[in-house]
Amino acid sequence: MAQIASIVYKPEGVPEPPDAYLRVDIDEAHLIEGYGIEGDAKGGHPNRQLNLMSYETLTNLRALGFYTEPGQMGEQIVIHRLDVDSLPSGARLQIGESAVVEVIKPRTGCDRFSAIQGKPLSAVEGQMGVMAKVVSSGLIRIGDAVKVLPAHV
């Protein structure tokens, strides 16, 4: 069973240092439809409310010298036992009892990511997770089940 391994967010109004991602590790979060994680400074963008990554991918990247503690890759939700990178655009995931997110596109990274990690983006191509939007609000917690929902019309 796929489940949440980590949840982090960037608090609103707190400046981010130039050489790291500022993320706060939390045990639970409210996902808000059309926004993302409640209180997250990264929320509200129509195409990048959430960044989802696979626990297994982070384990592999750690072995290659990447910084992969919660939030260090810029991710917000880490899912154990689900290959997030293989999810197509439009795929929907139910997280916990009621939250539903929809995959928008693969995450590609940026120059800031490369500078923070000290490695080229080409070293993580196809392994950076996906950008998603929240389509149904709900409370999520570490350990909650994550289910890929049947394709919708």
Sole residue written with tokens 């392994």: 127
pLDDT for res 111: 84
| Assigned CATH class of 3-148 | mainly beta
Q: Is the pLDDT of residue 153 over 70?
A: no
Domain map (residue ranges) of the chain? 3-148
What is the per-residue pLDDT across 4-17, written as a single tens digit (0 to 9) for each?
Answer: 999 999 998 888 88
The closest alpha carbon to 76, from 132, 121, 138, 119, belongs to 132
pLDDT for res 124: 92
Task: Provide the b/e sequence for 119-142 (b: ≥16 CB within 10 Å).
Answer: beeeebeebbbbbbbbbeebebeb
What's the DSSP call for residue 55?
H
What is the per-residue pLDDT across 104-118, written as a single tens digit (0 to 9) for each?
Answer: 999 988 888 888 899
